[in-house]
Amino acid sequence: MRISDRDDVSHSEAARIFGITAVAVLKGGRFSARQQRRIDRIVEQAREREAARRKNTK
């Protein structure tokens, strides 16, 4: 389930992003390159999933 109609990220994906962010905060407040790639991958997969869903519903 998406968080809103304007946001492609679901609740579980948002929780994963929050977890990655919490670790970054604990380690000094900066994202490592690996953490940023993980977040980018989560967001890109959500965008692709929702784009496919929108394409199939129209």
Kindly give the confidence (pLDDT) of every residue in the chain, 58 residues in length, as a single tens digit, with 9 standing for 90 and above: 555 666 778 889 999 999 999 999 999 999 999 999 999 999 999 999 888 888 887 6
0.75 exceeded by the pTM?
yes
- Apex 48 CA angle, 44 and 54, nearest 5: 140
DSSP string, 11-47: HHHHHHHHHHHHHHHHTTS---HHHHHHHHHHHHHHH
Phi, psi of 5, rounded to the nearest 5 degrees: -70, -20
